[in-house]
Amino acid sequence: MAQVTSVRTTSQVIGETREIREVYDQIMLYEPDVAPLITLLNRVKNRRPVKQTKYEWFEDDYVAQWTTAAATAGNHTTDTTLTVTDGTLFVAGDMFCHPRAVTSYVAPEICRVTVVSGNVLTLIRDVGSAGVDTITSGDALRLLGSAHEENGAIPSPKGTSKLPKYTYLQIEKTATSFSNTAIAVATYGTKGSDRDNEHIKAMVEQKRKLNSTLLWGRSSQDLTGGPNSNPIRTTMGLRQAISTNITDVGGILTRKKFEEFSRTSFRYGKKEKILLACPLLVSAINEWATNFLMVKPAEDHYGVSISEVQTGHGTFAMVKDWMLEDGVASKNGFAGVSFAVDLDEIEYLYLKNNGLNRDTHIELNAVQDGTDGKKDQIVTEYGFKISREKFHSMLYDMTDYMQ
């Protein structure tokens, strides 16, 4: 034992490792707002218990208003047949116009359909005498209304078929494992045992996984695909669902390109949408807020920090999602991607039936294998229903922005 002949100071206490450390009683977790869209779905109660691992629904739309010519019709009234790419859009009596170049002030030619045979239309050309035009293969045609004779017969019906849609429920798990000794010992940095603290962390990790799946998941089912040849399923995400309204920034985001993105975002659905923004897009919008955009400062809504961005087409509730970030250094990531979503068209599904709720829960001591410890897991059997994909939009390939 060492002898002390001088005054005792804190150096001796530290050297003997006997000092009482001031340690915060809960380990700080990075990114407390780790899954904003999942948080919003839960807060606004876009949740549905389901009884099957496959969830199905049907979607419908109005008859298309645009098609294209598949052959050429000359610029004279006697050229009265035209092949189109989709003849099912037409019935006798329908009218359509052939738009001229945007640089032309001349009114477009209007045609009336008299007979439909497959994709071949028989026409009355130059209805209303705006002038006959050459209709070239590949040209766009805009459907108008219909014109029928007085005391005429009922026209042929025209409509759309309902489109079946589906998604699957995915089983998500996050496990923890502790020896009973590790559970029993006192530790710094926790209120209670390390096991309790790890449960909190595991719940956050589970939430992060759900949010990642909502962004990038793709629905699938393989009835023998698991490691024990049991069924394994995955659910759909935004990237799979969105196919129509996709804006390619092409590198530098300009205000004009952001305006284009806004137009496509609000073309369908509500005029208030969630803008799930990558950090770079948030920087651009905040930069433009001083002169070009009306942006209200971020406020806390349902536990998520939201800024209101007003455009000429609708209002974005902008939420920053750090999952839309750079990947491994010098490798591809998602830093240039953002989504605009209509929250009413997204539902969180979870399996619940026969007295068993498979929404997120902790299974304590899930494996009792005789070891002197506890193996726990967080389990969620869930899926996402993302409907009416035209109500959502995506922006990608943003590397910087114009100041």
The mean pLDDT value of the chain amounts to: 89
How many whole angstroms separate alpha carbon 191 and alpha carbon 180? 17
Domain locations along the chain? 21-61+162-403, 66-146
Question: Same topology for domains 21-61+162-403 and 66-146, yes or no?
Answer: no
Is the pLDDT assigned to residue 296 strictly greater than 90? no
Least confident residue range of 25-34, 96-105, 357-366:
25-34
Entry field: residues in the chain: 403
Is the pLDDT assigned to residue 26 strictly greater than 60? no
Least confident residue range of 155-169, 273-287, 318-332, 384-398:
318-332
Q: For the beta carbon of residue 82, count every other beta carbon within 10 angstroms.
A: 23
Q: β-strands 163-168, 346-353: how paired? A: unpaired
Is the pLDDT assigned to residue 16 strictly greater than 70? no
CA distances from 225 to 173, 222, 318, 377, 395 (A): 17, 5, 39, 22, 34
What pLDDT band is residue 31 in, cutting at 50, 70 and 90?
low
Nearest one of 267, 306, 235 to 392, comparing CA atoms: 267
How many whole angstroms separate alpha carbon 177 and alpha carbon 179? 7
Is the pLDDT assigned to residue 196 strictly greater than 70? yes
The DSSP secondary-structure symbol of 43 reads: H
What pLDDT band is residue 4 in, cutting at 50, 70 and 90?
low
Q: What is the pLDDT of residue 231?
A: 95
Which CATH class name applies to 66-146?
mainly beta
Is the pLDDT assigned to residue 190 strictly greater than 90? no
Residue 71 burial by Cβ neighbours in a 10 Å radius (0-12, 13-18, 19+): middle
Q: What is the pLDDT of residue 25?
A: 57
What pLDDT band is residue 140 in, cutting at 50, 70 and 90?
very high
CA distances from 5 to 10, 14, 17 (A): 15, 17, 20
Is the pLDDT assigned to residue 24 strictly greater than 90? no
**How does pLDDT run across 216-263, given as a tens digit for each residue?**
999 999 999 999 999 999 999 999 999 999 999 999 999 999 999 999
Check if the beta carbon of residue 340 is closer than 8 Å to that of residue 139.
no
What pLDDT band is residue 360 in, cutting at 50, 70 and 90?
very high
Q: What is the pLDDT of residue 191?
A: 72
**CATH number belonging to domain 21-61+162-403:** 3.90.1690
At residue 65, φ and ψ (nearest 5 deg) are -100, -10
Residues 345-364 have a mean pLDDT of 93
